[in-house]
């Protein structure tokens, strides 16, 4: 039996498309910031008395279909370790509000850590990252803290994350703006697949990411938060252009997303530097130097209410312990 705690991450250079669906090998590299405020703790217990895997998230037991991706990772762990038993998995997502920022990134990173340790495997961080990748691509990066790069690689062995700067020593901060959503969203898995298959801009996206990876690493070295934010914002817009240009086209934005984008642009025009990024949902994440926090929080609270804002510092890498 083992427990792991992993933090979620938000991509500054997005992963949006797979080369290999089964092994989750991405089309491009990506780069993220691990966040302090959002994390998952997961306990895994291999138990010879169980007759099937039993998976609970936030104390709710998942159906067979809902548990599919978790069981897939458990199967890989059983294969690696030779363990035959089924497992009980208990996972709790720690998010400050219920507004749906829970991410598969922290969940599958914590699962990889807890399941492999419970099975007696002592995986290196690199191998943990490869195992987390089999559950969800973005989880590859949640093994490490701070600024993290996922090198796309070409196969299971060569596709893993590595830290760029684990202890971020400059005052970058991220504010999550939790946007209300009623509509059922297109999963990132199917959204990125249809972008790869149908967007005429997909080839250009590969080049965008290659250029952005070089530029953002330079900006990180220079501790240039404005440059990091600017590159991340452009990259996010270009990722979302792939959804608009897919066939059929779709978007994760809603009206509130655009309102917040506009507010960030207004702040910038008033001399308060800040930048936005969005993932496979309507929430907006704002990147800025913490010296600007109060002005940004003030403006955005007037729009959405302070209870929907969560400020987060860079967060740590995975922790695993035996029970
Ligand atoms: C927009 O990691 O959720 O957040 O690998 O199919 O599980 P799967 O997809 P997932 O996609 C994340 C997409 C993103 C960008 C990113 O995190 O890099």
Residue 99: pLDDT band (50, 70, 90) is: very low
* Residue 100: per-residue pLDDT: 53
* Residue 146: per-residue pLDDT: 98
CATH 3.30.230.10 domain extents, the chain: 2-169
Phi, psi angles (nearest 5°) of residue 297: -60, -40
Strands, sheet with 309-312, edge to edge from the N-terminal-most edge strand: 275-278, 284-289, 172-177, 309-312
Asked whether the CA dihedral 197, 201, 202, 203 is positive or negative, the reply is: positive
Q: Are 48 and 25 in contact (CB under 8 A)?
A: no
pLDDT at 309 over 60: yes
Q: Please state, in angstroms and as integers, the Cα–Cα distance from residue 131 to each residue in 60, 80, 108, following that order.
A: 25, 10, 9
> 153: buried, middle or exposed (CB in 10 Å: 19+, 13-18, 0-12)?
middle
CA 137 to ligand 1 centroid distance, Å: 6
Which of 175, 177, 173, 176 has the alpha carbon at shortest distance from 289?
Answer: 173
Question: Which tokens belong to 88?
Answer: 């009980």
* Residue 184: per-residue pLDDT: 67
CA 51 to ligand 1 centroid distance, Å: 32
* Mean pLDDT of the 176-204 span: 91
* Mean pLDDT of the 144-149 span: 98
Exposure class string for 61-78: b at 16+ Cβ within 10 A, else e: ebeeeebebbbebbebbb
> 141: buried, middle or exposed (CB in 10 Å: 19+, 13-18, 0-12)?
buried
83: helix, coil or strand? coil
CA 104 to ligand 1 centroid distance, Å: 8
pLDDT at 204 over 50: yes
135, 188, 278, best to mutate for ligand 1 pocket (most atoms within 8 Å of CB): 188
136 lines ligand 1 (CB under 6 A): yes
280 lines ligand 1 (CB under 6 A): yes
Which of 17, 19, 21, 20 has the alpha carbon at shortest distance from 30?
Answer: 17
172-312: CATH topology is Alpha-Beta Plaits (3.30.70)
* Mean pLDDT of the 260-282 span: 97
CATH 3.30.70.890 domain extents, the chain: 172-312
Nearest atom in ligand 1 to the alpha carbon of residue 108 is 7
Residue 214 to residue 278: CA distance in whole angstroms: 21
pLDDT, tens digit, 9 for 90 and up, residues 135-145: 999 999 999 99
Which of 231, 166, 199 has the alpha carbon at shortest distance from 11?
Answer: 231
2-169: CATH topology is Ribosomal Protein S5; domain 2 (3.30.230)
CA 54 to ligand 1 centroid distance, Å: 25
Question: Which tokens belong to 146?
Answer: 């701070």
188 lines ligand 1 (CB under 6 A): yes
pLDDT, tens digit, 9 for 90 and up, residues 26-74: 999 999 999 999 999 999 999 999 999 999 999 999 999 999 999 999 9
* Residue 296: per-residue pLDDT: 98
* Mean pLDDT of the 1-9 span: 97
| HSE-up (13 A, CA, CB side) for residue 148 | 33
142 lines ligand 1 (CB under 6 A): no
User: Which residue minimizes the CA distance to atom 4 of ligand 1?
Assistant: 279
11 lines ligand 1 (CB under 6 A): yes
Nearest atom in ligand 1 to the alpha carbon of residue 239 is 1
Q: What is the pTM of this model?
A: 0.97
Residue 285 to residue 277: CA distance in whole angstroms: 5
107, 143, 193, 280, best to mutate for ligand 1 pocket (most atoms within 8 Å of CB): 280
Residue 128: pLDDT band (50, 70, 90) is: very high
CA 310 to ligand 1 centroid distance, Å: 21
């Amino acid at each position: 039996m083992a427990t792991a705690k992993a933090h979620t991450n938000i991509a500054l250079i997005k992963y949006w498309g797979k080369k290999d669906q089964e092994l989750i090998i991405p089309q491009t590299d990506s780069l993220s910031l691990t966040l302090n405020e959002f994390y998952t703790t997961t306990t895994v217990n291999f138990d010879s008395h169980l007759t099937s895997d039993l998976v609970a998230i936030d104390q709710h037991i998942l159906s067979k279909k809902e548990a599919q991706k978790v069981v897939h990772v458990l199967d890989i762990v059983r294969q690696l370790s030779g363990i035959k038993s089924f497992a009980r998995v208990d996972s709790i997502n720690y998010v400050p509000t219920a507004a749906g920022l829970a991410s598969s990134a922290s969940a599958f990173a914590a699962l990889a850590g807890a399941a492999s340790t419970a099975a007696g495997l002592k995986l290196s961080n690199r191998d943990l990252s490869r195992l987390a990748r089999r559950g969800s691509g973005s989880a590859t990066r949640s093994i490490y803290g701070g600024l993290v790069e996922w090198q796309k690689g070409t196969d299971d062995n060569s596709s893993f994350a590595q830290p760029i700067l684990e202890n971020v020593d400059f005052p970058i901060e991220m504010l999550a703006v939790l946007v209300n959503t009623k509509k059922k969203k297109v999963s990132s898995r199917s959204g990125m697949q249809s972008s790869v298959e149908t967007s005429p801009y997909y080839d250009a996206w590969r080049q965008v990411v290659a250029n952005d990876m070089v530029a953002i690493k330079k900006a990180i070295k220079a501790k240039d938060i404005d440059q990091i934010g600017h590159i991340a914002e452009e990259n996010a817009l270009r990722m979302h252009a792939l959804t608009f240009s897919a066939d059929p086209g779709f978007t994760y934005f809603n009206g509130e997303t655009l309102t917040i984008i506009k507010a960030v642009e207004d702040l910038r025009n008033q001399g308060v530097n800040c930048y936005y990024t969005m993932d496979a949902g309507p929430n907006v994440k704002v990147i800025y130097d913490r010296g600007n926090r109060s002005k940004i929080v003030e403006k955005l609270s007037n729009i959405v209410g302070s209870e929907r804002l969560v400020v987060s510092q860079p967060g740590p890498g995975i922790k695993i312990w035996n029970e």
